[in-house]
């Protein structure tokens, strides 16, 4: 198995390289972000160990560009950044796991084995309804070719509607899948979130895609609903 380590701290890079080589991995190391991206894009690695704070190009951008280019190589983030927003951002950009420094070498190797067993992650389905395009893998939404910025909750709601299109999704199902079973949000509050999403998706367009089925729920489809 071929592993690329993108890490600019030579002490840590050497530690990781020795640990992986003792486990039988073929290891390549790189200290520069742009060069790491080029290598990961051009060569058939089985796993990428990626630091977030790299010179010339940070780990977030490397992950984003790899996934944008269709590269599905598993990515394990190894970084000193432990803020929740950094973890969420990295995973949303396509990373498969996230380990913070300082770390145990045994735990690191166990994470490597776990991520490696998954193999290349499958390409997520791109949802298309009329001129609406939603790519869950890249977390991008566009309509008529124009990008639409959504909040995390709006994105989850639209993904549920797109995934089940053209079927109707009940308010209770939306509540459970988007907010979770323990949420204090009521089914009636769902209407406000759907309204906000509808203003972004349908607002400037003559053809409306998000429809309300009175007394039942909502659906995403081209045809008008009586």
Count Cα neighbours of 152 within 13 Å in the Cβ-side half-sphere: 7
pLDDT recorded at residue 197: 93
What kind of architecture, by CATH, is found in domain 2-118?
A: 3-Layer(aba) Sandwich (3.40)
Tell me what pLDDT residue 121 has.
54
Asked whether the whole model's pTM tops 0.85, one would answer no
- Report residue 7 as tokens: 């890490």
Over residues 133-168, the pLDDT tens digits come to: 998 877 889 999 899 999 888 998 998 899 888 899
52 CB neighbour count, 10 Å cutoff = 22
pLDDT at residue 124 in the model:
59
pLDDT mean over 106-127: 79
The yes-or-no verdict on residue 122 having pLDDT over 80 is: no
Domain ranges of the chain: 2-118, 127-220
Residue closest to 73 by CA, chosen among 5, 120, 138, 6: 120
Q: Are 71 and 44 in contact (CB under 8 A)?
A: no
pLDDT greater than 80 at residue 123: no
Q: Return mean pLDDT, the chain.
A: 87
| Continuous H helices in 23-175 | 33-42, 59-68, 84-92, 105-118, 152-164, 171-174
Percentage with pLDDT > 70 across the chain? 94
Q: Tell me: the pLDDT tens digits for 1-22?
A: 899 999 999 999 999 999 999 9
The CA distance from 143 to 202, in Å, is: 9
Residue 224 — very low, low, confident or very high, per pLDDT cuts 50/70/90? low
226, pLDDT greater than 70? no
Return the CATH fold of 127-220. Arc Repressor Mutant, subunit A (1.10.10)
211-215, long-range: CB within 8 Å, 24+ apart, which pairs? 213/168
Segment 72-114, tens digit of pLDDT: 889 999 999 999 989 988 988 888 999 999 999 999 999 999 8
């Amino acid at each position: 198995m071929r592993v690329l380590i993108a890490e600019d701290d030579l002490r840590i890079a050497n530690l990781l390289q020795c640990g992986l080589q003792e486990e039988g991995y073929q290891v390549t190391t790189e200290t520069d972000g742009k060069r790491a991206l080029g290598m990961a894009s051009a060569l058939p690695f089985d796993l990428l160990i990626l630091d977030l704070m790299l010179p010339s190009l940070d780990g977030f951008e490397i992950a984003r560009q790899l996934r944008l280019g269709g590269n599905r190589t598993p990515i394990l983030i190894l970084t000193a950044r432990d803020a929740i927003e950094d973890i969420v951002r990295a995973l949303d950009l396509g990373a498969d796991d996230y380990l913070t420094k300082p770390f145990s070498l045994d735990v690191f190797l166990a994470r490597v084995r776990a991520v490696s067993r998954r193999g290349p992650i499958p390409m997520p389905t791109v949802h298309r309804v009329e001129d609406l395009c939603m790519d869950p893998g890249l977390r991008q939404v566009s309509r008529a070719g124009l990008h639409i910025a959504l909040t995390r909750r709006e994105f989850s709601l639209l993904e549920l509607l797109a995934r089940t299109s053209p079927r109707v999704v009940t308010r209770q199902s939306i509540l459970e899948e988007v907010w979770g079973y323990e949420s204090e949000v009521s089914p009636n509050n769902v209407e406000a979130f759907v309204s906000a999403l509808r203003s972004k998706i349908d607002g400037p367009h003559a053809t409306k895609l998000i429809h309300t089925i009175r007394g039942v729920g909502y659906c995403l489809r081209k045809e008008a609903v009586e």
